[in-house]
């Protein structure tokens, strides 16, 4: 059922502005992550710097591994 939550209530539609802000925030966080990685990790481990899109993918992987994404993984 589209528009209904698991608990039976109707989900409010996300305003387009909120979606744009969320996407812009994720791109900004990716840029900050890339900068922090490139000033720290290559000097410690003598490896190459990462690109913007590699930083973006690393954040997605970290979110999948350590984020909630709607899953309740409590033991």
Higher pLDDT, 4 or 54: 54
Hey, where are the domains in the chain? 16-66
Burial of 34 (0-12, 13-18, 19+ CB in 10 A): buried
For the residues 12-33, what does the mean pLDDT come to?
87
Which residue shows structure tokens 């409590």? 74
Query: Mind listing the pLDDT tens digit for each residue in 32-73?
Result: 999 999 999 999 999 999 999 999 999 999 988 988 655 555
* C-alpha distances in Å from residue 48, one per residue of 12, 39, 45: 45, 11, 9
Is 80 exceeded by the pLDDT of residue 2? no
Dihedral angle at the C-alpha atoms of 33, 35, 41, 42, nearest 10 degrees? 140
For the residues 17-30, what does the mean pLDDT come to?
90
3-state secondary structure at position 22: helix
Position 16 scores a pLDDT of 82
């Amino acid at each position: 059922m589209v528009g209904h939550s698991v608990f039976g209530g109707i989900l409010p539609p996300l305003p387009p502005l909120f979606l744009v802000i969320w996407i812009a925030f994720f791109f900004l966080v990716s840029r900050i992550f890339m900068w922090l990685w490139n000033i720290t990790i290559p000097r410690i481990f003598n490896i190459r710097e990462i690109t913007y899109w590699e930083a973006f993918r690393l954040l997605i992987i970290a979110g999948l591994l350590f984020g909630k994404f709607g899953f309740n993984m409590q033991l």
